[in-house]
Amino acid sequence: MSVALRNAQRAVPVRRAPLRRAVCALRAALGASRFDVGLVCAGNGLMRRLNGAYRQCPEPTDVLSFPFHRVAAGELPRPRCRDEYNLGDIFLGVEYIHQQCRATGEDFDSVLAVTAAHGLCHLLGYRHGTKSEWQQMYRKEAEILEEWNRLTGASLRPLTAGLF
């Protein structure tokens, strides 16, 4: 199925093809290749508005996920018709991520892939509000990033390393 990628910002150049390939590979590693995913590259203004509206935190952030289905962590949705083969939408705060990468010296494209992996896990019910939820999500992120690393020769680690 497809990854619909939209760049809704102009602050940071985004290499769309590598990002789309990464999301496709990460989605496959999750066993969810049959499902569509929407991916929006957003600037700080949009992320601030969305974060304020949905999380009551009017600050820019790196990623927000909006699942199409409600599933328990690690479960795949059970669509009843073709229109339900959708995991949901991920908003990547590319301007925020770029600012963080400039401050830390990390590779922007690598951090985008890690952040997309984090967003995909949220679409599949993973959370990190408690230590046990975080441990479960961290293991899943590490698992799918390990597959990405095997395919690409990269050495990416989960976004939530050291959260608890």
pLDDT at 98: 98
Q: What is the pLDDT of residues 27-50, one digit of tens each?
A: 999 999 999 999 999 999 999 999
Q: Report the pLDDT value the prediction gives residue 164, as an integer from 0 to 100.
A: 65
pTM for the model stands at: 0.95
Of 115, 140, 112, 114, whose CA–CA distance to 126 is shortest?
A: 140
Per-residue pLDDT at 163: 65
d(CA 38, CA 18): 15
pLDDT at 1: 75
**pLDDT number for residue 159:** 77
Contact in structure between 156 and 110 (CB atoms under 8 Å): yes
* 164 residues of the chain, pLDDT tens digit each: 799 999 999 999 999 999 999 999 999 999 999 999 999 999 999 999 999 999 999 999 999 999 999 999 989 999 999 999 999 999 999 999 999 999 999 999 999 999 999 999 999 999 998 999 999 999 999 999 999 999 999 999 997 776 66
The pair of structure tokens assigned to 78 is 């059970």
In three-state secondary structure terms, 92 is strand
- Count CB-CB contacts under 10 A for residue 140: 22
Which CATH number fits the domain 3-152, given the four candidates 3.10.450.50, 3.40.390.30, 3.40.50.1980, 3.80.30.20? Answer: 3.40.390.30
| Collapsed DSSP state (helix, strand, coil) of residue 154 | coil
Which are the contacts of 53, defined by CB distance < 8 A and separation ≥ 6?
none
